[in-house]
Amino acid sequence: DGGITQSPKYLFRKEGQNVTLSCEQNLNHDAMYWYRQDPGQGLRLIYYSQIVNDFQKGDIAEGYSVSREKKESFPLTVTSAQKNPTAFYLCASSGQTSTDTQYFGPGTRLTVL
């Protein structure tokens, strides 16, 4: 089946540790995105990538890093510099045209203790 997978579904880390969230898609989409979701705040864009080996900062990139070495994969690292890392993280992908819908993965809930 085509789709987007994120792993793990739940992740716990100690404060001060970096953690990497996985996002993989087999939809042959060029563009991929990372969002952060907090209660009552909707989704906020962290980073996006329109093509392999290229990515851009979104609205709240501070404390996060990404890589896009393969078309299928767009991992997100939450660094120790991120002040409030506990949140629900959503990955999405889309085609390149303006009418292509964004498809979302199931999300990873990160809790920093």
Partner 1 sequence: GEDVEQSLFLSVREGDSSVINCTYTDSSSTYLYWYKQEPGAGLQLLTYIFSNMDMKQDQRLTVLLNKKDKHLSLRIADTQTGDSAIYFCAEVFGGYQKVTFGTGTKLQVIP
Contacts with partner 1 by CB under 8 A lie at 4, 6, 9, 31, 35, 40-45, 48, 50, 90, 92, 94, 96, 98-107, 109
Nearer to partner 1, 84 or 98 (CB): 98
Give the contacts of 50 (CB within 8 A, at least 6 positions apart).
Answer: 30, 31, 56, 96
- 10 Å CB burial of residue 56 (0-12, 13-18, 19+) is exposed
Name the nearest CA neighbour of 13 among 79, 105, 73, 62.
79
* Least distance CB 53 / partner 1 (angstroms): 16
Nearer to partner 1, 55 or 64 (CB): 55
* Least distance CB 43 / partner 1 (angstroms): 4
Nearer to partner 1, 82 or 94 (CB): 94
